[in-house]
């Protein structure tokens, strides 16, 4: 360790900067550790699974030529996943910014797509609208065909947002997951695409493996609920079984 390196060792519950002192909780497999550096106050703090561990370092160096780089050290057979903001943070630090900014434009676009889908589903299942159409001489089949054509175009646009290198994880977690939950029990589900479903399944799998600070396991239960809802929809279930869930064992 050097004078300008700072670290938190959850295995030994120590903070290190040339010397060490007792700090923080003992971490376990599956924990999420959040690190925040405040260059205004010249402090470094950590969180474990959303619990703030307090200020680990103060009066850190700063200046024109001072640059900090994130670094990790692992023992044999250890592994970790690093998130600099490419995915939504599970436990963000209040009043801190992530290194990668949120894709605000893509989030706004995906929100607009889902607003269209909700509106179109209301049109599709509106009994009063069907009665009005019968009175005007316009067939419900023509309207349903037009609605489904628009739905297809919206889903294609949403698919592109779901597979964006930086935006995909945000779009799936912030908007698509909630949209699927709002459909339960599934009555109107646009013909899903492989990539949108893949994003949902990856998110559900990630949540199912996380450590939880609550015995109620809220994110685990939410993941199971969404996957169960998808499986209730016949064409979506066939797509998941045929092309997504069992591809690796063929």
Q: What is the total count of domains within the chain? A: 2
Q: Which of 101, 120, 143 finishes a domain?
A: 101
Predicted confidence at residue 214, as pLDDT, reads: 74
Question: Residue 137 has what pLDDT?
Answer: 59
Do 55 and 141 sit in the same domain of this protein? no
CA distance readout (Å), 77 to 72, 170, 207, 209: 14, 30, 23, 18
Do 87 and 110 lie in one domain? The reply is no
Whether residue 135 sits in one domain with residue 86 = no
Burial label, 82 (beta-carbon count in 10 A; 0-12, 13-18, 19+): exposed
210 exposure class (CB count in 10 Å sphere: 0-12, 13-18, 19+): middle
- The reported pLDDT for the residue numbered 250 is 44
pLDDT at 140: 58
Report residue 218 as tokens.
């809220």
Extract the residue ranges of the chain whose pLDDT is less than 50: 185-188, 249-250
Do 223 and 124 have their domain in common? Answer: yes
Give yes or no: residues 131 and 240 share one domain: yes
How much is the pLDDT for 33? 93
**11, HSE (Cβ side, Cα atoms, 13 Å):** 6
Same domain, 7 and 67: yes
Task: Report the Cα 93 to chain-centroid distance in Å.
Answer: 16
CATH of the domain at 89: 2.60.120.920
Residues 65 and 177 in one domain: no
Q: What is the pTM of this model?
A: 0.64
């Amino acid at each position: 360790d050097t004078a300008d390196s700072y670290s938190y060792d959850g295995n030994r519950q120590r903070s290190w900067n040339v010397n060490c002192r007792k700090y923080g909780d003992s971490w376990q497999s599956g924990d999420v550790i959040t690190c925040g550096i405040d260059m205004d106050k010249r402090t470094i703090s950590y969180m474990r699974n959303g619990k703030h561990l307090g200020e680990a370092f103060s009066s850190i160096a700063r200046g024109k030529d001072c640059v900090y780089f994130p670094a990790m050290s692992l023992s044999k057979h250890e592994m970790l996943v690093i998130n600099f903001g490419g995915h939504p943070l599970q436990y963000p630090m209040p009043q801190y910014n992530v290194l990668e900014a949120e894709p605000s434009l893509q989030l706004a676009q995906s929100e607009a797509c889902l607003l269209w889908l909700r509106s179109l589903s209301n049109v599709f299942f509106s009994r009063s609208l069907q009665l009005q159409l019968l009175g005007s001489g316009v067939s419900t089949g023509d309207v349903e065909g037009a609605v489904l054509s628009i739905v297809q175009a919206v889903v294609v646009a949403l698919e592109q947002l779901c597979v964006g290198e930086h935006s995909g994880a945000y779009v799936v977690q912030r908007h698509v997951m909630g949209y699927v939950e709002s459909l339960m029990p599934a009555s109107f589900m646009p013909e899903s695409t492989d990539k949108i479903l893949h994003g949902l399944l990856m998110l559900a799998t990630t949540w199912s493996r996380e450590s939880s600070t609550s015995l109620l396991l809220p994110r685990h239960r939410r993941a199971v609920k969404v996957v169960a809802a998808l499986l209730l929809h016949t064409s979506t279930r066939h797509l998941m079984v045929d092309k997504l869930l069992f591809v690796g064992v063929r």
